[in-house]
Structure 1
Amino acid sequence: MKGAFIFSLLLYFNIMSLYAHREKTYYLFGKIGETEVAIQLDEYGTDCTARYITKKDKYDSILEGEILENGQFNLYSKHWDKDKKTTIIDDSVYLIEKEKNIWSGTWKYKDGKEVNFVLTPILIEALNHPYTSAIKKHVITPFNAYRTQDVYFTDIKKEKISKGIYIKHTIDPISKISFFRVLNNPKKNIIADTINDKLVAIHLNMINEKYSCVYAVSKGNYTSNFEVHFLNPQLISFSINTHQACYGDQGEDSTEHETFKMIDAKKIILEDLYWFGNKPQPELQKGEYEWFQYRYKEFGPKILALLTELYPEKITPQKPIECNYNDVKLWEFPEWYFTPKGLYLKYQSQTNKKCDDSTWSVIPYEKLNGFTTMEFGLIK
């Protein structure tokens, strides 16, 4: 069953890029012989892919194939024979939904042995998952819930974020993925149950990313770390740094900056907090045409003006010009998060590699007074 190899995995991701729209996904499990297996089955037109795991082996194995006119899924695991310079099919899997939510299948191994099996949907309620509350509130697929049903977190240490406000570092000892939770402190009005459900969901997804990235344990690498920048009774800002080198590729580093409301764990965008427009703020959705126009015409110029006032020595070009921070395009779509001193903004530039990380570009909260739509306790 563990026949998928690097060629198949790369082909899987090529298929993913070809089809922007995934038509349907099924989350199934059952016993194949004596082994319990969970499968995520994805449709892409007449093509299909599947990931499967077992209770003992949580790392993804990949199948890919086609869907016949009668609705049968024909899937194959393959590997690349470097000597013969050709693709070799290892196992073949045939699946069809015989009745609603009841799938019949045959697994044919490369040695010719065949095993018939039946699959049914994965029901999160039936998994007895230790973090069912977080899974139901946030985006955890049934497949990933199945994979993490035996997870347990161990506390590592406590970290002070500000006076009377602490987080605890916690780790999953099996995957070695660590993250954090916020500690309750009623005296400081830190009520963390809701945000901690969100943090658990993020932690579970990070574990799933590792098991999806690393093939057969040794093929690939996934590591992550985090930093909490700001935490008060209303808001939390933190960053997650990730390194992924999946299936033997060169790898890449990425950083995500996240800001959530503590009360309901909803994600915050800058327009929820500050408005730099000349007219009353309309209801904008990130990515809409009006949002882009606002960022181009009003947000970017105003941010540049504030930074020029605060940091003239950085914004005014010096000779030789290595990084022109005076370019308004750098500041139209900045990365951002809160710090104890103010709003941090990191320019967005895809071309100038000589620019520094703009760690200096923090706008103090008092400078944002006139643009505040919701204070969230940011100004003392």
Structure 2
Amino acid sequence: MFRHAIALLAAFTPCFTLSLAADANEAAPAAKVYDGSVGSSPIVMSLERTDDSLNGNYFYRSKRFDIYLVGDAKKGALLLNSPITDDKISLKPDGSGYAGSLTTAKGKTFPVRLRPVGPDAARAAPVEAPDDLDLYERVRLAGLTLKPEKTETYAGKTIRWHVESMSGNRMFRVESGYAAPVMETINKSLSKIQWANVSNYFGCAGAEGGSGVDASDVENPFLSDAYVSFGINESWSCAGAAHPDFGMEAHTFDARSGKELTLDDFLKFGKGPVPSEDSPGRSDYLSKTFAPGLVALLKRFHPKEMTPKKDECDYSDPEVWNYPAWRLTEKGLYVGASFPRAARVCDNPKWSTIPYSALSEAKPQLK
């Protein structure tokens, strides 16, 4: 869910990059991310400035959890505080960086020194990290590694689990059962997914310290000769967010090419081509054609569950199927409903699977 429905990361407390463009009166350096220390503890800080307002984050390298900052720029000084920890930071220009102090909620004060990160800082991140991570996020991942763990076999195909020890995040890689070039392509995607979720883990700080990510559990994958598919069940409560949340992130790959697939590759309703995800007609297609068509299909195979009942989840409402979570299973295509917050307990019911026979009516290649 962090990467899809939120496009996943929108659910987290925002992670800002530094853009402190100097104006005529204040000499702010052009660096985007700072490396430095609070007392003897190494930190990394990023800030974003809009006029005299500041937003940003910093993390201690020993823990890597984000601490959100807000503040103001006044007469050349940066005055910041954290709504999460109640830390207060005062900084003034010092050469190419900043120097100042941090005062904790308990009144302890420590010196702060910041310098722009070096030009090679981004290269210290894992080479498999997603390309869309910003410099601050890449610096946060620097030095982390994945440890290979046990192998498992599904349908005659072997996978091996890999874990990142600080976050405990686990993801599998495919080791046998498919052509080598296909496995290489799929495994590169799996690595990017894992590192994105490790970044999310540290980017979602909990209100009581540590991470606000309560779970990020990969289900046992579905491995067929044609597809590799799996879901990740996630729950989180990031400090500063209005509510805890949960959801499912899922991925499906073509086992003949390694390409990641979309739901449009399996379900199509209406006449004519399906509007692309970034086209103006996409929203109308989903609400007026796709969701009603999906409801009709689910009523065909799950008439009891799709019959509205008083004071219970109404799965006959097309609106809850506009953006379904989905994955492939042994029994068919699973689709998950998405309800408004007050009824989130209704999300992703266990029964909402469409058999492959129904899909092959429209997609003969799935037989």
SS at match of 1:292: helix
CA RMSD of aligned residues (A): 4.0
In 2, the alpha carbon distance for the partners of 1:106 and 1:321 equals 59
Mapped partners of 1:192, 1:90: distance in 2: 49
Q: Aligned residue for 1:345?
A: 335
Contact 1:238 1:337 in 2 (8 A): yes
The structure-2 alpha-carbon separation of the partners of 1:205 and 1:309, relative to structure 1 and needing over 3 Å to count, comes to: closer
Alignment of 1:290-301 (within 5 A): 290-301=281-292
Native 8 Å contact 1:165 1:231 kept in 2: yes
For 1:168 and 1:251, locate their aligned partners in 2 and report how far apart those are by CA, in whole Å. 35
Q: 1:144-181, CA deviations, whole angstroms, 9 ceiling, x for partnerless residues?
A: 22222221222333233x31223222222233x22212
Return closer, same or farther for 1:59/1:159 CA change in 2, 3 Å cut-off: same
Question: Paired residue for 1:173?
Answer: 165
Alignment of 1:38 onto 2:44: yes
Q: 1:4 aligns to what?
A: none
Distance 1:306 1:113 in 2: 63
Partner Cα separation in structure 2 for residue 325 and residue 331 of structure 1: 8
Report the AA paired with residue 79 of structure 2.
Answer: L
Partner of 2:148: 155
Question: Is this contact kept in 2: 1:220–1:249, CA < 8 A?
Answer: no
Q: Aligned residues, how many? A: 337
> What one-letter code is carried by the residue in structure 1 that aligns with 2:191?
V
Alignment TM-score, normalising by the size of structure 1: 0.71
Aligned ranges for residues 200-279 of structure 1 at < 5 Å?
A: 200-214=191-205, 218=209, 221-223=212-214, 224-232=216-224, 235-247=227-239, 252-261=244-253, 267-278=260-271
1:368 and 2:359 matched: yes
* Change in 2 beyond 3 A, CA 1:332/1:245: closer
Structure 2 residue matching 1:140: 3-state secondary structure: coil
Cα gap change, 1:295 to 1:338, in 2 (>3 Å): same
Deviation (angstroms), 1:365? 1.7
TM-score, length-normalised on structure 2?
0.73
- Residue 106 of structure 1 pairs with residue 99 of structure 2: yes
Q: Which amino acid aligns with 1:180?
A: M
Structure 1 position 93, deviation (Å): 1.7
State the shift of 1:207 in Å. 2.7
Q: Match for 1:119 among 116, 121, 124? A: 116
1:36 & 1:80 partners in 2: Cα distance? 20
Match of 1:92 among 77, 90, 93: 90
Equivalent residue, structure 2, for 1:8: none
Amino acid in the other structure paired with 1:74: L
**What is the Cα deviation at residue 62 of structure 1?**
3.9
What is the aligned partner in structure 1 of residue 78 from structure 2?
A: 74
Distance 1:201 1:217, change over 3 A: farther
The CA distance in 2 between the partners of 1:361 and 1:200, in whole Å, is 29
Amino acid at match of 1:343: L
CA, structure 1 residues 22+265, in 2 after alignment: closer, same or farther (shift >3 Å)? farther
Question: Would the alpha carbon gap of residues 106 and 249 (structure 1) be closer, same or farther in structure 2, given more than 3 Å must change?
Answer: same
Question: Structure 1's 292 and 118: CA in aligned 2 closer, same or farther, altered over 3 A?
Answer: closer
Instruction: State yes or no: 1:331 paired with 2:329.
Output: no
Counterparts in 2 of 1:268 and 1:41: CA distance versus 1, 3 Å = farther
Q: Percent identity?
A: 20
* Alpha-carbon distance in 2 for matches of 1:116, 1:309: 65
> CA offset at residue 371 of structure 1?
2.6
Task: Confirm or deny: 8 A CA contact 1:138 1:198 kept in the other structure.
Answer: no
One-letter code of the match for 1:119?
A: P
- The alignment partner of 1:91 has SS state of strand
Aligned-partner SS, 2:281: helix
Is the CA contact 1:257–1:337 (under 8 Å) kept in the aligned structure 2?
no
- Over alpha carbons, which structure has the higher Rg? 1
Amino acid at match of 1:244: W
Shift in Å, 1:294:
1.6
Q: After superposition, what is the alpha-carbon deviation per residue over 1:254-275, rounded to whole angstroms, capped at 9, x for unaligned? A: 1233224357876533224432
1:14-72 residue CA offsets vs partner (Å, 9 max, x unmatched): xx69xxx9894864244448654322222345322232234334233344322469xx5
Q: Secondary structure at 1:313's aligned position in 2?
A: coil
Q: Is the 8 A contact 1:229 1:337 kept in 2?
A: no
Shift in Å at residue 92 of structure 1?
0.8
| Structure 2 Cα separation of the partners of residues 236 and 171 of structure 1 | 20
Letter in 2 for 1:274: L
SS of alignment partner, residue 192 of structure 2: helix
Matched residue SS, 1:314: coil
